[in-house]
């Protein structure tokens, strides 16, 4: 078979999407390549090692790539853990050729580093399942009119969406796109293992950060701490500031399938039952504040109250709502300001005092039907730090006042766009249909 690492290097050297697809098509029959792509990109296959150990390989490798990939099952199944897992991986890497060891490292790090993550399914349809996530719909009066009352109102939070996945007595934290979140405080995971009560379940909610006085840290600073958890660089002190606000509980098997037929009212009650009230007092793991409302006017009353208290708004949820891997029409966002997530497609240099550093980011919706230049909201530190290399292709959160139509073009823009942050927890921009 062709050298798999050589194929990855060839892909990395190409910048064009079509050229990358052509390379993958050329090697479509390569089962080792297909297998390595699956193990690296499948969100439900994890190896639970954060740092590649030091290893040495000899001139006569004793493991083929297939045998080395086979050996990784002892890590993903947690047959070996801790120091034994590190030793096992060291032995695997030391037994491979130099090129095959590099493939194993890409797989373990869950990063092929060649820009083909979204292209793989075009070559091998259905190979990689997208990480499941239920989203709320943007406010639409027609959706509100169809909602059954009484319904629930919950505060719309301003942190990082996450899942705590408890499976076979172990817990892992994931972002909304399946990236592992490494909370530096090991005690944090024990809360979820205890609440799982021996079952395989997924807790859905939002991560926020609090200071030593239990005050919520501002969004930019807090999400900076949480982004370090995604990168695996969070300190113990930062990890101890992380708190979880939960709103859903899904059986693990249903989560993998992408649908749970239990009504939200039942799932919420199960979540409340599993949450030890004594633990709520430390504010590390809590259930989101929830109210039952009989009509839209009551919902708007809570919306106004939250806005006056400096919150973003509310989520209105049907008690009958199923959990589904899609944007649900049974939970609706009420927000004071509009916000969307866009993909950076171009970096523009600044002028005047910003000469030589960031001036603006050109951003687009997933389908390219909304395109806007974002030049405000950046601090001086942002303008120094955000470069073309580390921003193009990334997802950014943008606040705006209205979506505006350019009659000279088929592409819409946004009125008064303001940069909020780079979303390291997201890999896909919003579609234009969800941008109001």
- The more confidently predicted of residues 10 and 57 is 10
* 200 contacts 167 by C-beta, under 8 angstroms: yes
- Sketch out the chain's domains with CATH numbers: 4-123 (no CATH), 135-335 (3.30.470.30), 338-434 (2.40.50.140)
- Looking up tokens 């030793």 gives 87
State yes or no: pLDDT of 349 exceeds 80.
yes
Residues 6 or more apart whose CB falls under 8 angstroms from that of 260 comprise 250, 251, 254, 267, 322, 323, 324
Mean pLDDT for 246-252 is 98
226, 230, 233, 235 alpha-carbon torsion, rounded to 10°: 40
Return the minimum-mean-pLDDT range out of 48-62, 191-205, 232-246: 48-62
Model confidence over 1-23: pLDDT tens digits?
469 999 999 999 988 889 999 99
* 139 contacts 334 by C-beta, under 8 angstroms: yes
- The more confidently predicted of residues 179 and 380 is 380
* 172 contacts 230 by C-beta, under 8 angstroms: no
Computed over every residue of the chain, the mean pLDDT equals 92
Nearest Cα residue to 344 out of 228, 279, 422:
422
**Active-site option among 20, 34, 110, 156:** 156
pLDDT band at 413, cuts 50/70/90?
very high
Q: Within 10 Å of residue 344's Cβ, how many Cβ atoms?
A: 21
What's the pLDDT at 280?
A: 46
State yes or no: pLDDT of 350 exceeds 60.
yes
What's the pLDDT at 410?
A: 85
Instruction: Tell me whether residue 156 is one of the annotated catalytic residues.
Output: yes
- Looking up tokens 């579609």 gives 431
pLDDT band at 71, cuts 50/70/90?
very high
∠ CA 9-10-15 to the nearest 5 degrees?
105
What are the φ and ψ backbone dihedral angles of 118, each rounded to 5 degrees?
-85, -10
- The more confidently predicted of residues 46 and 36 is 36
Q: Are strands 160-167 and 201-209 parallel, antiparallel or unpaired?
A: antiparallel
Model confidence over 274-328: pLDDT tens digits?
886 655 445 689 999 999 999 999 999 999 999 888 888 999 999 999 999 999 9
Mean pLDDT for 30-42 is 95
What does R_g of the chain's alpha carbons equal in angstroms?
A: 23
As given in the structure block, the two tokens for residue 168 are 């076979």
- The more confidently predicted of residues 24 and 140 is 24
State yes or no: pLDDT of 202 exceeds 50.
yes
State yes or no: pLDDT of 345 exceeds 60.
yes
The 3 state secondary structure assigned to 207-244 is EEEECCCCCECCHHHHHHHHHHHHHCCCCHHHHHCEEE
């Amino acid at each position: 078979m062709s050298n798999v690492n050589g194929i990855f290097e060839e892909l990395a050297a190409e910048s064009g999407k079509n050229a990358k697809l052509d390379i993958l098509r050329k090697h479509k029959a390569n089962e080792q390549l297909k297998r390595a792509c699956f193990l690296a990109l499948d969100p439900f296959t994890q190896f639970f090692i954060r740092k590649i150990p030091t290893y040495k390989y000899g001139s006569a490798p004793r493991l083929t790539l297939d045998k080395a990939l086979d050996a990784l099952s002892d890590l993903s199944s947690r047959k070996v853990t801790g120091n034994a897992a590190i030793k096992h991986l060291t032995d695997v890497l030391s037994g491979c050729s130099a090129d095959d060891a590099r493939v194993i490292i890409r797989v373990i790090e869950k990063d092929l580093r060649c820009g083909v993550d979204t292209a793989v399914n075009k070559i091998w349809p259905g190979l990689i399942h997208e990480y499941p996530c239920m989203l709320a719909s943007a406010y639409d009066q027609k959706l509100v009119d169809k909602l059954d009352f009484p319904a629930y109102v919950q505060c719309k939070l301003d942190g990082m969406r996450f899942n705590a996945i408890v499976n076979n007595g172990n817990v892992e934290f994931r972002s909304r796109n399946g990236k592992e979140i490494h909370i530096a405080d090991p005690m944090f995971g024990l809360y979820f293992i205890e609440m799982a009560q021996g079952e395989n379940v997924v807790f859905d909610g939002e991560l926020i950060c609090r200071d030593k006085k239990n005050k919520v840290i501002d969004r930019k600073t807090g999400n900076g701490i949480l982004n370090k958890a995604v990168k695996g660089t969070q300190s113990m002190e930062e990890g101890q500031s992380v708190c979880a606000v939960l709103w859903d509980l899904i059986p693990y098997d249903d989560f993998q399938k992408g649908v749970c037929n239990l009504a939200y009212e039942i799932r919420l009650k199960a979540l409340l039952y599993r949450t030890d009230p004594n633990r709520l007092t430390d504010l590390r793991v809590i259930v989101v504040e929830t109210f039952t409302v009989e009509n839209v006017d009551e919902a708007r009353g809570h919306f106004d109250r939250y806005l006056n208290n400096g919150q973003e708004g509310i989520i209105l949820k049907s008690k009958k709502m199923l959990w589904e891997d899609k944007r649900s029409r049974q939970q609706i966002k009420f927000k004071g300001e509009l916000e969307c997530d866009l993909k950076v497609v171009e970096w523009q240099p600044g002028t005047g005092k910003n000469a030589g550093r960031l001036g603006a980011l050109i951003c687009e919706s997933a389908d390219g039907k909304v395109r806007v230049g974002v030049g405000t909201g950046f601090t001086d530190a942002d303008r120094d730090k955000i470069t073309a290399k580390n921003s193009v292709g990334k997802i950014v959160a943008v606040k705006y006042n209205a979506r505006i139509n350019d009659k000279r073009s088929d592409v819409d823009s946004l009125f008064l766009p303001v940069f909020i942050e780079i979303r390291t927890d997201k890999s896909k921009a919003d579609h234009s249909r969800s941008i109001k």
